[in-house]
Amino acid sequence: MGIAFLVTSLIIVATPGTGAIYTMAAGLQRGRRASLIAAFGCTVGIVPHLVAAVTGLAAVLYASAVAFSTIKYLGVAYLLYLAWQTWRDKTSLDAETVTGPPSSVQVIAQAVLVNLLNPKLTIFFFVFLPQFVHSDEPHALEHMLTLSAIFMLLTLLVFAGYGIFAAAMRANVLRRPRMVAWMRRLFAGTYLALAGRLALSDH
C-alpha cells in the first residue's frame, strides 16, 4: 500500500496543473526565490482541503452539486483573472517597476488561492485517500494525516523542482524580448485552457 500510494501521489502531483503552472510562471518571471515561495504557497493551499476531508466536509461538497459548482466556478473565475493579468502584463522581467515586485505574502496568497479554489483536490482527498485508510482500523485519523503530509511534501518537492528549472531558464528568456512576450501568451493561454477544462468537468 505504501509504494502504491507514493507512486499514485507522485503521478497526480507531477501532472502539470494550475499549481505547477503558477510555480513555473513565478520562476520565469521573478526567479528562483519566488518559485520556491509559490511552491510553498501551493502546498499550504492543500491544507483547507485536508481539513475539509478530515471533518467530513469533503463528503458534503462531493455530494452537493450546488456546493461543488460554487467552488468550481470560483476556481474558473480566478483562473480567468490570472489569464487576463498575465496577458496584459507588459513590464520587463529584468527591471524593477515603480511599485516593485510582488511581496512574498502576495505570492503566497495567490498560490494558496490557486489550490484553494481547485475542487479536484477536494475530490482527491475524498476519493483517493479512503482507498488507503480503513475507517475501522486503529488510529485511522493519524494514518490519514500521515498520508496527507506525504502528499503535501511531494507537492512541495515537485513544484519546487518545476520552479527551479523554470528559474534556471530565466536568463535565456530575458535575452529574448519576443520570447518573453510569447511566454506570457503561453501562460495566459494555459490558464484559459485550465479554466475551460475545469468549467466543463463533472464530479
Residue in the block written with cell 483536490: 121
**Residue 58, in any domain of the structure:** yes
> Could you read off the pLDDT of 128-137 as tens digits, one per residue?
776 677 656 6
Number of domains in the chain: 1
Q: Is residue 13 part of a domain?
A: no
6, amino acid identity = L
Provide mean pLDDT across the span 153-176: 85
Tens-place pLDDT, residues 7-21: 878 877 887 778 888
Q: What is the DSSP letter of 102?
A: P
Q: Compute the residue count for the chain.
A: 203
pLDDT at 68 over 90: no
Is 5 contained in some domain? no
Residue 12 lies in a domain: no
Among 49-63, 87-101, 104-118, the minimum mean pLDDT is found in 87-101
List the domain range (segments joined by +) for residue 192. Answer: 20-89+98-200
User: Which grid cell is 151?
Assistant: 502528499
- Tell me, what's the pLDDT at 52? 78
Confidence of residue 160 (pLDDT cuts 50, 70, 90): very high
Summary mean pLDDT of the chain: 76
Higher pLDDT, 187 or 44: 44
- Identify whether 8 is part of a domain: no
Decide: 32 and 163 in contact? Cβ < 8 Å. Answer: yes
Which residue shows C-alpha cell 485536508?
50
Q: Is residue 51 part of a domain?
A: yes
pLDDT of residue 99: 41
Q: Band of the pLDDT at 200, cuts 50, 70, 90?
A: confident
Residue 121 pLDDT greater than 90, yes or no: no
